[in-house]
Chains A and B, each alone.
Chain A
Amino acid sequence: QVQLQESGPRLVKPSQTLSLKCTVSGVPISSTTYDWSWIRQPAGKGLEWIGRIFSSGRTGYNPSLKSRAAISVDTSNNQFSLRLNSVTAADTALYFCARGDFWSGYTFWGPGILVTVSS
């Protein structure tokens, strides 16, 4: 069974960089053609797609983040990561990692990690 688990600092200061990891178990992250994505949800609000990385290393991002986001993959640890720089209070949210593809949607999700941006 595929499982995903987010980890990282839960408190980040304004203007600093948010760094999260998603550890994948049950399937090698490098041997599939899935879309490994980050999605976030501010408290009481809807879902926002942040970006994705394919096992090929190709990435894509939400243009609204104005190039602040970067996603990378670490095949040796079966993880993929999110870095979001120059954070503000508006980046406070529950961050999810998920696996999906264009035809099947996001089938597997991590439980989410709440990240607060505050001094």
Chain B
Amino acid sequence: QSVLTQPPSVSGAPGQRVTISCTGISSNIGAGYDVHWYQQFPGTSPKLLIYGNNNRPSGVPDRFSGSKSGTSASLAITGLQAEDEADYYCQSYDRTTDGSGVFGGGTKLTVL
């Protein structure tokens, strides 16, 4: 059981917009900790996609955006492309365990 809750899968056609939710509680996302998002392809390390709730590292297309409100966060992908098919994970921290890291269970994005 992951501490943060994500839908197991989402899908969309090329060009469409999809969102992936990440739900926490008052001791993690709701405590004010930043939410980060990672993209992972099979057999590779996760890659940082969004940091600090809504910031993109250099090289990440602006089709990817993040937001946070209350105890939840979301990742939005616009103009869906076939190469976006991957697993996506949200990550934050939890104050009940002295700021230990917590991950969502991951969401498999399928581009139809």
Task: Please name all residues of chain B whose beta carbon is closer than 8 Å to the beta carbon of A52 when the two chains form the complex.
Answer: 100-101
CA separation between A49 and B102, bound complex, in Å? 6
Interface-side segment among B14-22, B30-38, B70-78: B30-38
* Mask: chain A, 106-119; 1 = CB below 8 Å from B; 0 = not: 11011110000000
Task: Please name all residues of chain A whose beta carbon is closer than 8 Å to the beta carbon of B57 when the two chains form the complex.
Answer: 107
B60 to chain A, nearest CB (A): 12
Task: Please name all residues of chain B whose beta carbon is closer than 8 Å to the beta carbon of A62 when the two chains form the complex.
Answer: 97, 100-101
For the complex, is A96 an interface residue (Cβ under 8 Å from B)?
A: yes
Of residues 82 to 119 in A, which have CB atoms within 8 Å of B's CB atoms?
A: 96, 102-107, 109-112
CA separation between A105 and B46, bound complex, in Å? 11
- Asked whether A106 and B38 contact (CB < 8 A) given A48-B103, A49-B100, the answer is yes
Which of A60, A104, A109 has a CB less than 8 Å from the CB of B46?
A109
In contact, B52 and A49 (Cβ under 8 angstroms): no
Which B residues form the contact surface with A (CB < 8 A)? 2, 33-34, 36-38, 44-48, 50-52, 57, 89, 91, 93, 97-106
